[in-house]
Structure 1
Amino acid sequence: KKGSGDVKYHQGFSSNVMTPGGEVHLALAFNPSHLEIVGPVVEGSVRARQVRRKDIGGDDVLPIIVHGDAAFAGQGVVMETFQMSQTRGYVVGGTMHVIINNQVGFTTSSREDARSTEYCTDIAKMVQAPIFHVNGDDPEAVVFVTQLALDFRQEFRKDVVIDLFCYRRRGHNEADEPSATQPLMYQVISKLPTTRTLYADKLIKQEILGRNQADNMIETYRSALEAGQHVANALVGEPNKKLYVDWSPYVGHDLEDYWDTSVDVSRLQELAQRMRQLPEGFVMQKQVQKVIDDRLKMQTGELPLNWGAAETLAYATILDEGFLVRITGQDVGRGTFSHRHAKLLNQVDGSQYIPLCHVKENQPRFALYDSLLSEEAVLAFEYGYATTIPNSLIVWEAQFGDFANGAQVVIDQFISSGETK
C-alpha cells in the first residue's frame, strides 16, 4: 500500500450531523504540515459550495479556520487571505477565525523573537475585523464569545477573530519535552488544573452537578473511545447526499492520454458569431476593436486562427456543453500579452461586457476575475474551488511563468500530491 507522505490526522474528514436547525454537513479540510496554507484552500472550497447552492452571500455555508498564534502572526498567506476577503472574486460572506493561542510557536515564546506587534491578532486589523480575546479556561465565556462572533459575521458578512488565550499542556509532539526550552513556563503549567477540572469544580460548587456525575462522564466517554464508538452523538447514519459532492466517479481511474475533443466547425462558427454580438452603442478601444474584428475573419478563413481566438472559442465550447468555467489571475481579462480580451470595456462609460457570459440561453456560470496581486493565496483558493466542483474547468494563470514561484507551496502540498494525500 502506498504511503501518503503525511501524517493521518492531516488527511481531513467529513460527516453530517443533526442540529436543532436541521442536518448540517461538516467538512474538515485536509491540512498539510505547511503552516496556514490550508486557509485560502478552505475559502475557495466555501465559495464553490456557495455557488453550487446559489448561496451568494453566505447564509448557508460558513468557513471556520483554526490557527496557531505564532503562525497567524508569522505566515504571509494570512495577510493575503485577509486582503482577498472582501474582493469580488473571493468574497465568502465573512470567515470565523479561531486562534488557539498557546503562547509558544514550536519552541519560540520570547516576546522579543515571536513578533513585532503587540498581539498575534493585529494583522486582522487591516480589514477592521473585530477581535475577541477570551480566556480558554472559561468554557462559558468561550461559548458566549463564539455566539457573539457568529452573530457579527451573519449580520455584517465580514471576517471576525476569536483569540482563545490558553496554553499547551504537553509538548509540540508526542516525543517533545517542553521544559527543555520553556522551563519557567512549564513549571507553572504543570501545577495548573485542567480546563475540565476547573469547570467541573465550578458546576459542583454551584450544585448544578454532583461529583459522581462528573466522574461518570469521564468514564462513559473513555469507555466509548476504547470500544471504538462514536462520541459525537449527533452524527447522521444516512446523510443527505445533496449536501456534498460525490467524488467516486472521478477517482481511481487510469489516465486517458487520448480523447476526442473535436467540435464541428459549423458550431465553432456559430459560437464565434455569438461572441461578436455586442450591446448596442458599445465602443471598444481601437486596438481591441481590430482584435475582435480579426477573430470574425478567422472563422471564414480570411485570417489564420491565432492563440487568443482559439482559446476563447475553446472556453465557449465547454460552456456550450454545460460545464462551469472560472478563470482568475493578475491579468486574465485582457491577457498578459494583450491576446485574450475576454473582458471588453466601453470607452464611453467604462461599462464592461464579457462575451463568454452570453454564449447561449441558460448557460453555465462563466466567472472571470482579474485578481489581487497574490499568487500563493489565489492559487490555493482556486485549488479549493476546484476540489469542490469537480465537473468544471477552473483556471489560474500566472502573469508570467516565474510568478508561479510565489505559489510553489500550493503546487507541492496540494496540486502535485493531492490525490495521493
Structure 2
Amino acid sequence: MAWNEPGGNSGGKRNNPWGSGNKPEQGPPDLDEVLRNLQRRLAGLFGGGGGGNRTVGAGGPGRGFGIGTIALVLAAIWLFSGLYTVDAAERGIILRFGKHVATTEPGLRWHLPWPIETKQIVNIQSIESFSEQTRMLTADENMVDINLEVQFRRANPLDYAFNVTRPEDTLKEVSESAIREIIGRSKLDSVLESGRQEIVARTKDLIQRTLEAYKVGLEVTAVNLQDVKVPNEVAPAQQDAIKAREDRDRLSLAAQAYSNDLIPRARGAAVRQVQEAQAYRARKIANAEGEANRFLALLDEYEQAPGVTRERLYLETIERVLASSKKVVLDTQNGSGNLIYLPIDKLLEQSRRVPRVATSEPSMTVESADHPDSTTVTGDRRTRGTR
C-alpha cells in the first residue's frame, strides 16, 4: 500500500515520508456540505426548513423555493413602497430619475418606487410667517427700528420645489430689501404716524412682484409692521421733535379755524356796509329830489300869491318851532290875581301829541305877555301882539 492511500496509516497516524507522522490529516473543505448548511439556515429563516438530516443537492428544489420566496417578498415590499397619500391641502410632485413627470392631486396615489421615481409633498394652503427686525434710515435721514412680519403660503408647488434652492431664505432677503427701499423713500412722520398703512401695502406689492420675477412659488398673504420706533439713543430728541410738530399742527389748525371764522364775518360786514351806503345814497338823493320838488311847487304858489304864501310860511315855521319848546307863558294882565294851577307836564305832553291847540283852550303867550312883539296864540288864529 502506498503511503498516501487511504487506510495507509498505523495507529491512527499517517505514514508521512517527510517525518511528520505525528500530525493529523487536514484536507480541503467540502463545498457541497457548506452549501447544504447555508440552505438549511435560509430555509429555517423563511419557512422552508426541514430536518437537519435532509440531504438536498446544490441545484435541488428546496434551494429554488427559498430564493423565489425571498425575491417575491422583496418585490412586494418594493412595489408597496410606492404607495403614498396626498392630503387636501397638499400636492405631490413625482420625479422620474430626477425629472418632473407629474403633479398629483389629493388622495391615495402610487408611483414607481425608488430608485426609479421619487415624490415630494408640498403644502399649498398652510399659512406660515416669520419676523424680521432691522434698523434703517428714512428719507429725511432719521434712524428707525422696524419689526416686520410677513405671512406667506406655497402657491406654486412646482416653482417652489425646483426654481430656488431655499425659497424661505430668499423670501426673507427679498422682504428686508423691500422694506428698506420703502422706508428709505418715506419720511419719519409718515413712518411713525399716518403713512403706515400705505407703507405696508407698498411693501407687500414690492415683495410679491420680486418673488414672481424670481419664480419662487410663494405668495405673500399679509405684511404687518408690528413695532416701529426710534432707537433709544435718539428717543428724547425725537420726542421733542414730535412734540414741536404736534404744537405746530395744533397752532396751524387754530389759526385756520380763526381765519375761517373771521374772513366770512368781515366779508359779511363789508357787504352790509356797502348796502347801507347804497341805501343812504338812495335816501339822500330821494330827499333832495323831494325838497327840490317841494321848493319848486312852493315857488309856483309864491309867484301867484306872494303875501299869503309869506304869511303861511311864517306861521308854519313858528308852529314848528314852538311845538318843541318847553316854555309856557301866561297872559295875566286881565287876571284877578288868583293862583292858577296848570299841569305843565301834561300840557307839554299834549303839545307834543297835538300840533295845534284846540279852539276852546285859554290863550297862551310865548315869552311874555307884556313883552313887545310877543306872540299870542288864541284858538286856530295866530297874531303878533304889539304894545
More helix by share: 2
Same fold (TM over 0.5): no
Q: Report the TM-score when normalising by structure 1.
A: 0.16
Higher RCO (Cα < 8 Å, 6 or more apart)? 1
Tell me which structure has the larger Cα radius of gyration: 2
Q: Report the TM-score when normalising by structure 2.
A: 0.18
